[in-house]
Structure 1
Amino acid sequence: MRSRSQLASNEFSSADEVQRWAIELVLSNGTSVSPRGQHTMEVCPASFTLLNPRSRCVTQAERKWSFALAIGEFLWHASASDDARVLEYYARPWAAFAVGGRIRGSCYGKSIFSTRGESPSQWASVLGLLTSDPDSRRAVLDFRVTDSNNELDAPDVACASTLQFLVRQNRLNAVAVMRSNDVVWGLPYDMFVFTMFQEMAAQKLGLELGWYHHHAASLHIYDRHRGLAQALLAAKVPNSHEMDVMGSLDCLPNVIEQERRLRQGLAPEFAQIPSSYWVALVKVLFDFGRRKLQSS
């Protein structure tokens, strides 16, 4: 892994540390802007590096970060879906961003995993490029290709622009570029999904996991979240949680199927998943479904 002196100064070991830094940065140095009439405090631009991408989970209790939503959203992307009902199952606010039951802009998985005509997916092309030319600087995934007609007034325009992979010293590093990033709600889930993509690619390429760098043109906190942000700063910093090394991606189609079964109220078929890593994630979704049913 590259030394700390070779990376940007804003370097962190966990998602909890990133969240705290980002909140403190915006509340201390942000300026007031109101895009689309929504009042925010903003730092423009801002960047950080997560040195250990597997420490991608926010564990601070006061944040009430949903591990189930993070997993469900990741699997939604991995299935190349744009069906809003999947995300609404985990977080009802997603309904406000749907058009005709579909998410039009933020369906990053559909952008990168879908084939177009006879052309391979972006994902396959990028992995093929890095296989043939590991030093390449062209391995860039474009998340904006599903935005219909590039309508900038649409309820959902992709917040993430690109994710670039760089193979250096036998490690797969990643650089995410965001046009817009909400610190309180968006950033923790973005880090989770993009570092999961990074680890998927590292496994496919047979590489160690490197660092993850994140650049946001606008890093901001909405006025309605300011109280929560201040409470998070006042709370004790928790110990970080590092996820295990990702299980075999051969299991992923079955994991996606088990997530679908759970949303339909069916029992999960754990025996169909020969990986303790993926079984543990499906169990998180199973527990979420039981709590959801009990509260309905």
Structure 2
Amino acid sequence: MPGIDQVSPEAVSQPHYEQQYLDLMERIWREGDQREDRTGVGTRSVFGAMLRFDLTEGAMPLITTKRVYWKTATRELLWFLTGNTNIRPLVLQGVKIWNEWPHARYVAETGEQLAIEDFVQRIAQDEAFAERWGDLGPVYGKQWVDWPTYKPVAGGLFRRGRGVNQVAEVIESLKANPGSRRHIIEGWNVAELDAMALPPCHKTYQFHVAGSETGTGRLNCLLYQRSCDVALGLPFNLWSAALLTRMIAQQADLEPGELVWTGGDTHLYLNHRHLVEEQLAREPRGHPRLEIMRRPPTIFDYAIEDFAVHDYTPHGPISAPVAV
């Protein structure tokens, strides 16, 4: 047999990028600590997980062992970047992923057992109803682009100052000072957590530029997620974090580098057994690529039509209930 030095790199089989996701899912299901949780459903959980994905040459961590509706995830990310916190713009685009939280609040506060389908229809058709019941509080996008500030005034009082657009500031700091260790977008605003329908799960994004001394820098992103539903949430979170990194890289004249995902309470819900077992029985396939069709003036000017995914041939979708 040839020695290790005689084996060409091409002859060494590299694991599919998705295998680490499947390995994490299997480890949680087999070895995770069974816990009671806020939803009452129950989970199996591990603490402190890490996944790494190469984003060069258009590569994206798009899960293939079940279909991931990447356009839905993209529409959500674009909505975050507007700073809007009302579900109505998502509802009008057919995006359902935030509907359960305001619906649950409506039922709890009014006592009316309105079916979620009827609730969503009213959100779409009635602007006043949507304004009253469709808002989620100061969730992700509000913190990303309009983090509140306060200025002291006479009498020991404070008035609202100009909000901080963290996304715009990170892009400018990447251009002006790529070696900084302060390229951070933070969603965990302690003072406003109680006003949010759901405190941020994917809470902290830190960006890092490598290789700028010898050419075009490569933009890396580390996302810390305090709480992660691996079956339903993580495929969306990985896509969105990678897409945000690609968009910021384009706006900052950098090349995409690596996405590093880290999870705190990383879990599977006990009522997702069928999903876990079916997905683990499937083999990853293909290497989808993302093409960004144009470079708009700012990161806030992208539209869904600006993104195209090539060579995505996933297995079929697997449905499972969302724990609210």
TM range (shorter): 0.7 to 0.9
Q: Considering fraction of residues, name the structure with more helix.
A: 1
Gap change, CA 1:86 and 1:148, over 3 Å in 2: farther
The gaps in structure 2 that reach 5 residues or longer are: 1-13, 106-132, 149-160, 212-216, 310-324
- Partner residue of 1:268? none
Counterparts of 1:237 and 1:18 in 2: how far apart (Å)?
11
Q: Tell me if 1:92 matches 2:120.
A: no
Question: How far apart are residue 124 of structure 1 and its match?
Answer: 2.0
Q: Tell me if 1:198 matches 2:203.
A: no
| Matching residue within 43, 46, 60 for 1:43 | 46
| Matching residue within 168, 187, 204 for 2:234 | 187
| Aligned positions of 1:239-250 closer than 5 A | 239-245=286-292, 247-250=294-297
- Partner residue of 2:74? 71
- Partner residue of 1:225? 272
Counterparts of 2:147 and 2:45 in 1: how far apart (Å)?
37
- Partner residue of 1:56? 61
The gaps in structure 1 that reach 5 residues or longer are: 1-10, 260-276, 282-296
- Partner residue of 1:149? 192
Contact 1:26 1:220 in 2 (8 A): yes
Question: How far apart are residue 33 of structure 1 and its match?
Answer: 0.8
| Aligned positions of 1:274-285 closer than 5 A | 278=306, 280=308
Counterparts of 1:279 and 1:91 in 2: how far apart (Å)?
17
Q: Tell me if 1:103 matches 2:136.
A: yes
Counterparts of 2:166 and 2:261 in 1: how far apart (Å)?
20
| Matching residue within 247, 258, 262 for 1:215 | 262
* Deviations 1:27-52, CA, capped at 9 Å, x for gaps: 13211011122210111111111122
Counterparts of 2:186 and 2:143 in 1: how far apart (Å)?
7
Contact 1:56 1:195 in 2 (8 A): yes
Counterparts of 1:13 and 1:101 in 2: how far apart (Å)?
40
Gap change, CA 1:122 and 1:47, over 3 Å in 2: same
- Partner residue of 2:108? none
Q: Tell me if 1:131 matches 2:175.
A: yes
What residue identity is the alignment partner of 1:83?
A: N
What residue identity is the alignment partner of 1:78?
A: L
* Deviations 1:178-208, CA, capped at 9 Å, x for gaps: 1100001110111111111111111121111
Question: How far apart are residue 94 of structure 1 and its match?
Answer: 2.1
- Partner residue of 2:166? 122
Gap change, CA 1:113 and 1:156, over 3 Å in 2: same
| Secondary structure in structure 1 of the residue aligned to 2:167 | helix
- TM-score normalized by structure 1? 0.73
Question: How far apart are residue 253 of structure 1 and its match?
Answer: 6.0
Question: How far apart are residue 137 of structure 1 and its match?
Answer: 0.7
- Partner residue of 1:166? 208
Contact 1:85 1:101 in 2 (8 A): yes
- TM-score normalized by structure 2? 0.67
What residue identity is the alignment partner of 1:166?
A: H
What residue identity is the alignment partner of 1:188?
A: P
For the pair shown, the structure with the greater C-alpha radius of gyration is 2
Provide the identity percentage.
24
After TM superposition, the runs of 4+ consecutive aligned structure 1 residues lying more than 4 A away are 251-256
Contact 1:96 1:155 in 2 (8 A): no
Contact 2:48 2:265 in 1 (8 A): yes
| Matching residue within 24, 42, 46 for 1:22 | 24
- Partner residue of 1:293? none
Counterparts of 1:102 and 1:246 in 2: how far apart (Å)?
32
Range 77-86 or range 112-121, more displaced: 112-121
